[in-house]
Chains A and B, each alone.
Chain A
Amino acid sequence: MNALHSQAPASETGDEYAFAYLDEQTKRMIRRGLLKAVAIPGYQVPFGGREMPLPYGWGTGGMQVTAAILGGDDVLKVIDQGADDTTNAVSIRRFFSRTAGVATTTRTPEATVIQTRHRVPETPLSNDQILVFQVPIPEPLRFIEPAETETRTMHALRDYGVMHVKLYEDIATFGHIATAYAYPVTVDDRYVMDPSPIPKFDNPKLDMNPALMLFGAGREKRLYAVPPYTRVVSLDFEDHPFAVQRWDECCAVCGSRDSFLDELIIDDAGGKRFVCSDTDYCRQRQQETGQ
């Protein structure tokens, strides 16, 4: 806590930043947290989150995780809402190519590390990839119980009754579970986890995924993880089984009927078009179909 450190953060990139911005001591702290997160799947590990040069809420948790894991031979992809070209994705990708000098890509299969906000790529991931999620509110019980002291006890006691009550109240009121994104899951039959605000469409992709999935919440200072090949089950009821969104339309660009579609309003009369939210998936399909 006090003595001067021998492991000084050598600026190996040769400029004013440490590699990937964070100093070595901070990276070590985050790395130790990630190891615990992996060892206790779905459990939220508190960590000494740092201020990043981007605002809280804009991906500082994901960025700290990415900075802690990234190495010189990684290939980084950053997506926001499934797209590589949204401004925040561009901004974060630039940040890492500037401070870590790593190669970047927009192609899902080429990436070794993918930082994402609100989507899981449509292209299946491989065992050699790590998916890093940006998380705004890591606590799935937060909207039922605002106090951390209480929610921590609920996790400790595996007391998730309130969550089921809440979902059931939805059914009583609306006839359906009225949660369309950030839909809670149970990880390896133990912890209830917030999968971050991905649409529930993406929830099934978390189950037994070959890729390691790491979650970082910067403002709330929490890390959690789902190892590869881990059971991830969306909460539901026998008479109201979990179901994902479906569209009557297909992607107006690539014709996909299997991907998550963004709705675009194309004229003043409220005319609509639907396109893939995953821009790389859409591009791959266009190439395949020769469009």
Chain B
Amino acid sequence: MYVAVKGGEQAIDNAHRLLAKKRRGDTDRPALEVAQIRQQLPLAVARVMSEGSLYDEELAALAIKQAAGDLMEAIFLLRAYRTTLPRFAASVPLDTGRMQLSRRISATFKDLPGGQLLGPTFDYTHRLLDFALLAEGEPADAPPESNAPASLEPCPRVLEMLGREGLMTPERDEGAPVPDMTREPLEFPASRAQRLQALARGDEGFLLALGYSTQRGYGRNHPFAGEIRIGVVEVWLETPELDFAVPLGDIEVTECEMINQFVGHTPDQAQFTRGYGLAFGYAERKAMGMALVDRALRAEEYGEEVQGPAQQEEFVLMHCDNVEAGGFVSHLKLPHYVDFQAELELIRKLRQPAQTEQAEPAPLEENRA
């Protein structure tokens, strides 16, 4: 008698043990400390916090360790943890104009109030493997004698300066309650607040590719990197119990404001438009990709023809989340033998008349979940 495959419980337990072993690697080597990950892989931590929608460096580092370095898995871990947290309040909007800058660049003005501050960046490194690091040594260069200490003075934003001249389309705060896409499902068309939330959680690679596609002509919008700033901002909270706002703490964020092609009903009303990106931590690529896609998604608002995928709201917002995408793609690994059996029965039935009539069967429709 045939005995169907059993022992799912045992198989799962074994898989967990094997995974733990794989994650730990050679036990002759010391185990990674969460603090080491937090300190020495800060860009991975930043990505996990951004796409995990939770600002907690320690937990993000823990997630990276637990996920054996699989950042999407780490993002998923952090999201699943976040979901269990109570939601107390929405903070006062971040004032990035008061950011304590560690990096600030503008591609649109050679010099400007507040100056250009290169800060820590890969931009001008030559991508040559550093074999000193392989030898576990410290880098050859000594750390700089303080890179122009971050100014505590507010540094005006480039787009604000253009705005004062009337050259930027103004952004209005409708004063409406802030939607929370983790509690209310997206409805289409979505508001810009909802779009920006979805993009902030969106996959960096997906946003990068979509942003790139707009540069290659699938919905061009002539971007200039008006300003990118990275630094620390304070988070403030207004509570009903108090008449004033209280500071909760500092977070590091990356903000990108793109200056895009102008619009206007008449030439004398022409104004630049803007794309906006914001991410937790040091996350420049993410913020730039987000800003490009944000601007692309404003096509309808500005009466532009929708030509590229990056401009299609439903397409972008329904596919930018890597926890959703990763889950649904990976579920193909789950058994589908009932559905496949149904298809087998069908294809055999379809082929019966075809064989007698010597006709080639046409390809079947694409498989569904």
Contacts and interface: CB of A to CB of B under 8 A. Distances in A.
Interface of A: 1-5, 8-9, 18, 21, 23, 25, 29, 46-53, 55-58, 60, 80-83, 85-91, 94, 117-119, 136-137, 143, 146-149, 170, 173-176, 178-182, 197-201, 219, 221-222, 245, 247, 252-253, 260-264, 266, 273, 275, 277, 279
Contact of B327 (A9, A55, A117, A181): A55
Contacts of A117: 334
A181 B8 contact: no
Contact of B83 (A2, A52, A197): A52
Contact of B328 (A86, A175, A219): A219
19 contacts: A1-B90, A2-B88, A2-B90, A51-B76, A51-B79, A57-B327, A57-B330, A80-B334, A81-B338, A88-B335, A90-B9, A136-B328, A174-B350, A178-B350, A180-B342, A197-B369, A221-B185, A245-B346, A275-B4
The 9 closest A-B CB pairs, nearest first, are A56-B327, A57-B331, A55-B327, A136-B369, A180-B342, A57-B328, A90-B8, A199-B342, A221-B185
B184 interface: yes
Contacts of A8: 86
A245 B328 contact: no
Given A56-B327, A148-B188, A261-B341, 19 more contacts: A46-B185, A50-B182, A52-B83, A53-B80, A56-B328, A58-B327, A60-B327, A86-B8, A87-B8, A87-B11, A87-B12, A178-B346, A178-B350, A181-B339, A182-B369, A199-B338, A199-B339, A221-B186, A266-B2
Contacts of A182: 339, 368-369
Interface string B78-110: 011011101011100000000000000000000
A119 B338 contact: yes
B12 A90 contact: yes
Contacts of A199: 338-339, 341-342
Interface in B238-297: 240
B44 to A, nearest CB: 20
Contacts of B184: 48
B144 interface: no
Contacts of A219: 324, 327-328
B30 interface: no
Contact of A51 (B4, B12, B323): B323
B25 interface: no
B83 A262 contact: no
Contacts of A174: 350, 361-362
Nearest to B77: A53
Contact of A201 (B9, B88, B336, B342): B342
Contacts of B349: 176
Interface residues of B, number: 63
B196 to A, nearest CB: 18
A5 B328 CA distance: 34
Contact of A89 (B8, B331, B350): B8
Nearest to A137: B369
A81 B335 CA distance: 7
Contacts of A18: 84
A142 B6 CA distance: 36
A58 B80 contact: no
Contact of A85 (B8, B315, B339): B8
Contact of B341 (A56, A147, A262): A262
B364 A178 contact: yes
Interface in B166-183: 177, 180, 182-183
B345 interface: yes
B343 interface: yes
B139 interface: no
Most A CB atoms within 10 A — which of B90, B337, B342, B346?
A: B342
Interface in B289-333: 314-315, 318, 323-324, 326-331
Nearest to B350: A174
A277 B341 contact: yes
B331 A55 contact: yes
Contacts of B90: 1-2
Nearest to A58: B331
B69 interface: no
A55 B2 contact: no
Given A2-B240, A46-B185, A178 B330 contact: no
A273 B2 contact: yes
B314 A262 contact: no
Contact of A175 (B183, B342, B350): B350
Given A48-B182, A56-B324, A175-B350, A85 B6 contact: yes
A67 to B, nearest CB: 12
Nearest to B10: A90
Contacts of B188: 147-149
Contact of A180 (B88, B182, B331, B346): B346
A262 B337 CA distance: 7
